[in-house]
Structure 1
Amino acid sequence: MATIAEFRVPTSDTALGATFEEVPSLVCEMEPVVATDNLGVWFSGSGLSKIYPALSEDRTVMTYSIIRSNENRWLCSIEFSDEISELFSLVLDEGGTLLTATATNGEWTSRLRFPAHENVSRAYERLAERDIQVEVTRLQPLSTVPAESIGLTPEQYEALTTAIQYGYFEIPREISQEELADKLDISHQALSERFRRAYRTLVASSIDINKEKLANIC
């Protein structure tokens, strides 16, 4: 069964350790990972006058550039060192999908979805083998209760939540339906059908349309 795991690791053992040493107030939020070459990281908690020099001296950062700003937050495109890219590859090798990753006070907290509990265990062991102080703070099966409570199938619920996580409903969209279908390992047509049925169920539950009437309409 698909499993959600929450990992905590020090930045000193992974990415941006030196940057946090120089800027302790820094807050980082990584965008969901689609590719590992260049990653999007939101920075806040300090000004660019401190963040830029710290990134320049951080051995885990190869290149970086500002691609977007929002008040006191900045989205950077970062190419991490091979060592850090290998850590991402390690998680991907176990079928892991990064849902969220944030760093504060020199510590990364990441939520990941794995195909099964065994994949979580192997990912943990492989990280520990690299002398990374990893702590699993939460471990739970992908629940179907929220889906059932509003009439969605587990597949429809997963499609919608994954779409939200990867910015499919943002304006402009941050991922195409074809790319999203690849993430879910289903065809584009299958994803469109899941969305159509899920939308119908959500609309019906929101405006209290009788299910029998809904069946006649659709």
Structure 2
Amino acid sequence: MSTIADLRLPAADTALATAFERAPAATFELESSVSKTRPSLWVAGVDRETAADAFAADPSVEVAELLVETESRLLYDVTFSEGASTNRLWDDLLADGGSLLEARATDGWWRVTVRYRDRDTLCNAYDRLIDRGVNADLRRVTDVTDADDHETRLTPEQQEALEAALEHGYFEIPRGISMEELAAELGISHQALSERFRRAYETLVDAELQPAGETSPLD
């Protein structure tokens, strides 16, 4: 059995606090498909100039390199300054084998979804955040039985992609493999793998997990 946790964290205590002050309308979403050594962030809701100014003003950001620009959002490779609270945040959340499934920030708050091997591991991660003074709000905790014990709603392709990602360290920080490399391992395109992940995350978090075994935080 593993445990899925949804947490809400204030940017002021964790990551990109100044960036949100400069660009309050921005939405940041972790996208780990480009670089295996640096996190990549999609930025939506603001123009290119505003996003660049926000990153430049944030003392926790050392470098923000624009990689992709679409009509609705921008993709940046981000290097955080040594000792930044952002780096410590991932250490606190993902120590002891935690896997980051999703991270999205809007209105000055981060919403993260993390998978842990059990509730004790989740409790240890939560305690680390509290001890560091992070006002962590644990919104939902779900225990998930092994695949042999329930009928999964994931497609075989989605399950294959997630299992390969776990095996090759894709969810680790820093990543053990990039999305391009993982796609090559699976013999599919980068775009196809990205779509499988998005649909799998939606199924796990929004469809399958919420109705099953939902409990109050840390009961």
Q: Shorter-chain TM-score category?
A: 0.5 to 0.7
- Relative to structure 2, which stretch is displaced further, 6-15 or 79-88? 79-88
Aligned residue pairs total: 174
Paired AA for residue 140 in structure 2: R
The 3-state SS of whatever aligns with 1:12 is helix
Higher relative contact order (CA 8 A, sep 6+): 2
- AA of the residue aligned to 1:54: A
Output the amino acid matched with 1:104. Answer: T
- Using structure 2 for the length normalisation, give the TM-score: 0.68
RMSD: 3.5
CA deviations 1:27-72 (Å, max 9, x no partner) are: 1110249988410000010101111111111011111101112222
Q: Residues 7 and 139 of structure 2 are in contact (CA less than 8 Å); yes or no, is this contact kept in structure 1?
A: yes
Shift of 1:124: 0.5
Q: Which residue of 2 aligns with 1:130?
A: 132
Q: Structure 1: any 5+ residue segments left out of the alignment?
A: 181-218
**What residue in structure 2 maps to residue 18 of structure 1?**
18
Amino acid at match of 2:23: V
Structure 2, unpaired ranges of 5+: 172-177, 187-219
Change (3 A) 1:179 1:117: farther
Q: After superposition, where does 1:43-192 map in structure 2 within 5 Å? A: 43-81=43-81, 82-83=83-84, 84-143=86-145, 148-149=150-151, 159-161=160-162, 174-176=180-182
CA contact (8 A) 1:7 1:135 kept: yes
CA deviation after TM superposition for structure 1 residue 80, in Å: 1.3
Partners in 1 of 2:136 and 2:23 — Cα distance? 23
Q: Identity percentage over the alignment? A: 29
Q: 1:91 to 1:173 in 2, by over 3 A?
A: closer
Q: 1:46 to 1:130 in 2, by over 3 A?
A: same
TM-score, reference length from structure 1: 0.68
Alpha-carbon distance, 1:123 to partner: 0.4
**Which has more radius of gyration?**
1
Q: 1:92 to 1:9 in 2, by over 3 A?
A: same
Q: Deviations over 1:76-112 (max 9, x none)?
A: 0001132321221222322111101000110000001
Residues 1:46 and 1:162: Cα distance change in structure 2 (over 3 Å)? farther
